[in-house]
A = this chain, B = another copy of it.
Amino acid sequence: MNSDSVKIPQATAKRLPLYYRFIQNLHSSGKQRVSSAELSEAVKVDSATIRRDFSYFGALGKKGYGYNVSYLLSFFRKTLDQDEVTNVALIGVGNLGTAFLNYNFLKNNNTKILVAFDVEESKVGTIIGEVPIYHMDQLEETLAQLKVPVAILTIPQSAAQSITDRLVQANIKGILNFTPARLNVPSAIRVHHIDLAIELQSLVYFLKNYPD
């Protein structure tokens, strides 16, 4: 997708990978059409939202027929640039980092963890989930060679900002931050933040205040 493509709302953009994965599964199972009600049930997004999301892409379902699965699949694949794999670096091979390495991202996605970094000598030089682990001292040099645009941050909070500064220097464009730290980065760098403690706290808050 080119940068001059039509901009869709960010909330819609966030649901795209979700739609894509489900449509991919439908296609694999030989299904040829799907209604917005079925989609809604499967991806847990209300069907009015699905119809509005799809309308941004000009994908219009037919009444009584729904959407054509092959069309949707080729459409989402083009939109998400599924044929172009984005390389990712993982920083910090603790339990959370190891979980990522063992997770087969490429199976359903357009991202691949190409390289991982840690400070612990016993981990350096080993391979987990087909991903080689380098020492943090080799960070700048290795990222420059491999031209990796995205990093997953699974390091202790205390090291988060200093490592982030090094990632910015190494021309990383996006960071998926799993530490509790709020990172300071130049405005051109995109950070998505997933704080596990806050996710849990948020669920508890909703349970207490929005009982069904």
Residues from 66 to 125 in A contacting B, C-beta threshold 8 Å: 80-81, 86, 88, 94-96, 98-100, 102-103, 105, 108-111
The size of the chain A interface, using a CB distance under 8 A, is 65
B95/A204 in contact, CB under 8 A: no
Taking the full assembly, how many copies of this chain does it contain?
2
With known contacts A196-B103, A200-B111, A206–B95 Cβ distance under 8 A = no
Instruction: Tell which of B13, B192, B194, B211 touches A209, judged by Cβ atoms closer than 8 Å.
Output: B13
A95/B88 in contact, CB under 8 A: no
With known contacts A150-B204, A176-B203, A98–B100 Cβ distance under 8 A = no
- Please give me the residue from chain B that is nearest to A211 by CB atom: B3
- Please give me the residue from chain B that is nearest to A84 by CB atom: B208
A50 CA to B56 CA in the complex, in Å?
A: 30
